[in-house]
Structure 1
């Protein structure tokens, strides 16, 4: 099975831009970026809470 070539990706990108427009795609990209950063922050906060609880249990 053959992979997707660069030309096929460019054609798909062109079709997507024509369908949605650049402003809408930019908004979707920024929303996706903020969602990913929020997810990473919540995961790192959860890890720090878990580490803090582990230290507290070890002290007792």
Structure 2
């Protein structure tokens, strides 16, 4: 299990998720309130657009 950094960086593109950037993964897991595994599964199924992921994850 990867340790989460206290240095969570806001992504340059706040509409798309880059799961190859571990700092972005930390940011988006916190933002969506999901695990890294859940985020990666959602991206694999719904793509990298934040609003599409929000819908896929069933969030308001």
- TM-score, length-normalised on structure 2? 0.28
Greater RCO (CA < 8 Å, at least 6 residues apart): 2
Greater share of residues in helix: 1
